[in-house]
Amino acid sequence: MIDIRAAGPMEQFEILPIIPLHFGNVDVSFTNSSLWMMIGTLAIIFFFFAATRRAGLIPSRMQSMAEVLYEFVSDLVRDTIGAEGRKFFPYVFTLFTFILVMNLFGLLPSLPGIAHEFHTFTPTSHLIVTLALGMTTITIVIVYGLWKNGWRFIKLFLPSGIPLWLMPLLFLIEIISFLSRPISLAVRLFANMFAGHIILKLFAGFVVSLIGTGSAVMLFGIAPFLGAIAVTMLEVLVSALQAYVFAVLTCIYLSDAAHAADH
């Protein structure tokens, strides 16, 4: 998201209320973050509805894109989790497409002349959003792991074949590692989106400042302009990669829950 009208690179991350709502001391306002998550969700629904509404043996371009996404995530789930993974496909597919669209929508330029709270926004550049996604994943892992394996779920933290005297230390390490999973998922996605958007804003600021001089100095704006293009292309790649990494790690954690008793 490149907003050349904002005063600094951090203003693009500011959450602004659109419809203020309060229940006592609890702020549940509809914000710019809420707006873009809703827009992204509606865009995903519209895309797959349009792609499958007239599905044919010879697919259209939109249908081909939808089928590629479907097959990509389906293969990922099947290869990572196995036959058990079929029940998790809807969740992983929703997670992947949501993160991908949220990341890419944040790269769209804001329309001129609109209020700041309606500028393009990247919800995944906020830790609270990515942490909510990570906590959802780990909650599913724990609930499914306990439901499928019962007390044997604890074997996930005590691999077979280790000495008895080492079990308490290893159990503690594995528990800490397990509980840190949603944090690592959240921080990885948040940090990449946050840092990339700051770099984009800085390059855009350099370009606008140099062009605004109206003198020969404006020629020096070519370098940051090309840099902004390069960083934008890199951010598109990173956006897709981070959605893929989040989905892969989710599948790995779900695989652990599905096969905990085999450890």
pLDDT tens-place string over residues 86-103: 899 999 999 999 999 999
| Average pLDDT rounded to a whole number, residues 196-223 | 67
Which tokens sit at 208? 């606008």
- Strand runs labelled E in the chain: 17-19, 22-23, 26-27, 30-31
What pLDDT does 161 receive?
Answer: 74
Q: How confident is the model at residue 213 (pLDDT cuts 50, 70, 90)?
A: low
| Average pLDDT rounded to a whole number, residues 22-29 | 84
What pLDDT does 188 receive?
Answer: 94
Q: What is the pTM of this model?
A: 0.87
Q: How confident is the model at residue 1 (pLDDT cuts 50, 70, 90)?
A: very low
- Residue 34's CB: how many other CB atoms inside 10 A? 17
Which tokens sit at 71? 């097959």
- Residue 261's CB: how many other CB atoms inside 10 A? 15
DSSP three-state, residue 18 = strand
Question: Would you say residue 123 has pLDDT above 60?
Answer: yes
